[in-house]
Copies of this chain bind each other. A is one copy, B any other.
């Protein structure tokens, strides 16, 4: 497969050229195409695909209030100082309706003085066909194709959605803080199995050592004995304390991922999941073409909600009809 094979649309070709040159507005336009679920998106992603696969993708997640954004910004600053090119994709699952994500971008961009080798994009989760994880993966692909060698994927780490988003990354940094509420235990449980590195942020607060001990206790209880036991790094992101240590730990992890073959395994698994999702979306699109679209569901929904139609019987019947129409 050659890069040019995918470029059938001259407009998309021009956009990819501009995007490859690193123009932030082109990257922004490309992401909008993806977010809007445009039919051009497939051609765009196909055209970007050959320029992907080489960047380091670092996932950073943690509970609300853990100081993730501050930590991500501090890491980005160090990466830029070391001449790395950086893309930040912040997935904001808390604003499904508002346009707050864009405002957030502006505020964060200002503190980086429009550095052309640093691209920041926040994504609200509204209206993504195929879910947040797929949208994140597509956006990360575009950002990587724009020439960024490091992609920081930032998300609030609570739900399954966020675990899926983290699987888009090559590695996962879980950010914790001392003195969280009752449910911290359960948040940690959910993220425990995908954490490659733990960062205790705001570690100047009381209780930081207790959090470290809790992590160690959980790790010693784990039924499997992983080759890589997630290191724990203490930081104060607001002052930059410990951020260099986070970077060193990331480098060590990256070396291990490469040598052990784990990187390849993880990426293959992520693609498998993503391809299933892509297939599902394409199916829904085809079914809509056969006349089974949202409007049909809406028509029946009122009757179902009044108890007049049984949805569990109805759906297979509707599908049978749409499927037959195709024949």
- Within 8 Å CB of A267, what residues of B? 305
Cα-based distance from A244 to B274 in the complex (angstroms): 47
Is A107 on the interface with B (CB-CB < 8 A)? no
Known contacts A160-B93, A272-B294; decide if A279 and B50 are in contact (CB<8 Å). no
- Within 8 Å CB of A100, what residues of B? 186, 189
Q: Are A269 and B301 in contact (CB under 8 A)?
A: yes
Q: Are B96 and A163 in contact (CB under 8 A)?
A: yes
- Within 8 Å CB of A229, what residues of B? none
Which of B177, B264, B279, B305 is within 8 Å of A53, CB to CB?
B305
User: Mostly helix, strand, loop or mixed at chain A's interface?
Assistant: helix
Is A242 on the interface with B (CB-CB < 8 A)? no
Q: Are A98 and B156 in contact (CB under 8 A)?
A: no
Known contacts A98-B189, A183-B94, A301-B269; decide if A6 and B161 are in contact (CB<8 Å). no
Is A280 on the interface with B (CB-CB < 8 A)? yes
Which residue from chain B places its CB closest to the CB of A304 in the assembled complex?
B271
Is A326 on the interface with B (CB-CB < 8 A)? yes
Which of B98, B270, B271, B319 is within 8 Å of A283, CB to CB?
B319
Q: Are B276 and A67 in contact (CB under 8 A)?
A: no
Cα-based distance from A270 to B297 in the complex (angstroms): 11
Which of B126, B159, B189, B323 is within 8 Å of A161, CB to CB?
B159
Cα-based distance from A301 to B274 in the complex (angstroms): 9
- Within 8 Å CB of A264, what residues of B? 302, 305-306
Which residue from chain B places its CB closest to the CB of A98 in the assembled complex?
B189
Which of B159, B268, B315, B327 is within 8 Å of A279, CB to CB?
B315
- Within 8 Å CB of A323, what residues of B? 286, 326
Known contacts A46-B313, A125-B159, A181-B65; decide if A268 and B301 are in contact (CB<8 Å). yes
Q: Are A316 and B98 in contact (CB under 8 A)?
A: no
Which of B52, B158, B187, B283 is within 8 Å of A280, CB to CB?
B283
Is A228 on the interface with B (CB-CB < 8 A)? no
Cα-based distance from A1 to B311 in the complex (angstroms): 11
Which residue from chain B places its CB closest to the CB of A319 in the assembled complex?
B282
Known contacts A186-B64, A275-B315, A319-B286; decide if A94 and B301 are in contact (CB<8 Å). no
Which residue from chain B places its CB closest to the CB of A292 in the assembled complex?
B279
Cα-based distance from A278 to B307 in the complex (angstroms): 17
Which residue from chain B places its CB closest to the CB of A104 in the assembled complex?
B186
- Min Cβ gap A47→B in Å is 9
Subset of 17 A-B contacts with CB under 8 Å: A1-B310, A5-B310, A6-B312, A45-B312, A49-B311, A50-B310, A53-B307, A64-B64, A64-B158, A94-B183, A98-B189, A132-B159, A268-B301, A268-B305, A278-B315, A283-B287, A327-B327
Which residues in A have some Cβ–Cβ distance to B below 8 Å?
1, 5-6, 42-43, 45-46, 49-50, 52-53, 63-67, 92-98, 100, 125-126, 132, 156, 158-163, 177, 180-184, 186-187, 189-190, 193, 264, 267-272, 274-276, 278-280, 282-284, 286-287, 292, 294, 297-298, 300-302, 304-316, 318-319, 323, 326-327
Apart from A53-B306, A271-B304, A280-B283, 6 more pairs, CB < 8 Å: A63-B64, A64-B181, A93-B158, A272-B294, A283-B284, A326-B327
